[in-house]
Amino acid sequence: MSHIVGAVLAGGSARRFGSDKALALVNGKPLIEHAADALRRHADSVIIVGREYPGAECVPDLPRPGQGPLGGICGALMHASATGAQSVMTVPCDVPFPPESLFEALAQPSCWCEDHPVFGHWRTGIAERLFEWMTFREERSVRAFAVEAGASPIRSPKPIRDVDTPEDMEQL
């Protein structure tokens, strides 16, 4: 049986937001918890990547902090690979209500969402390859790595609303 690790990528600095957006409340709950709840319906376990969060299993970005979302994906894949999981489904912490149809489209590993590439489903077999990429290359684009790794792009069946600024929060 395949084990899927759900990974909430939460290591960003939130410069445009002006404060820690992962902890910003939507309907009385932090954004990071909305993302974790969405993943729980599709993954066997859920981790938080790139930060500490009370009550959750947390892993660091790799090979070090400050490498953008690809560092979070790398940390998640290395962790999942070490625990024997077959794949990792990644979501950003700043999308409180991802469309269910997106998760259905990401049902199989080796795909990523072309219009919001932090959403992906990655085989753990690419963990070492990504770690080497992060260690020896300057390129930090999720899209560039996904293409290099042979992952298939999909488009979100419905629009994805993320939170980058306080104005985005108001529009939710």
**For the ranges 11-20, 118-127, 142-151, which has the lowest average pLDDT?**
11-20
Query: Residue 88: exposed, middle, or buried by beta-carbon count in 10 A (0-12, 13-18, 19+)?
Result: buried
CA distance 108 to 171: 32
Which tokens is 69 given? 């979302």
Element (H, E) at 6: strand 4-9
> Does 59 reside within a domain?
yes
Res. 140 pLDDT band, cuts 50 70 90: very high
pLDDT over threshold 90, residue 161: no
**Total number of domains in the chain:** 1
CA distance 150 to 57: 29
> Does 169 reside within a domain?
no
CA distance 84 to 13: 30
> Does 34 reside within a domain?
yes
Q: Which residues form the domain of 34? A: 4-160
CA distance 6 to 148: 22
Q: Which tens digits make up the pLDDT trace of 96-125? A: 999 999 999 999 899 999 989 999 999 999
Q: Bigger pLDDT: 128 or 24?
A: 128
Residue 43 is part of a domain; what is its CATH number?
A: 3.90.550.10
Q: Which tens digits make up the pLDDT trace of 68-103? A: 999 999 999 999 999 999 999 999 999 999 999 999
> Does 165 reside within a domain?
no
pLDDT of residue 19: 66
- Could you tell me the end-to-end alpha-carbon distance of the chain, in angstroms, rounded to an integer? 38
Which of 70, 79, 5 is closest to 36 using CA atoms? 5
Q: Model pTM?
A: 0.93
Percent of the chain predicted with pLDDT > 90:
73
pLDDT over threshold 70, residue 33: yes
**For the ranges 14-18, 53-57, 64-68, 137-141, which has the lowest average pLDDT?**
14-18
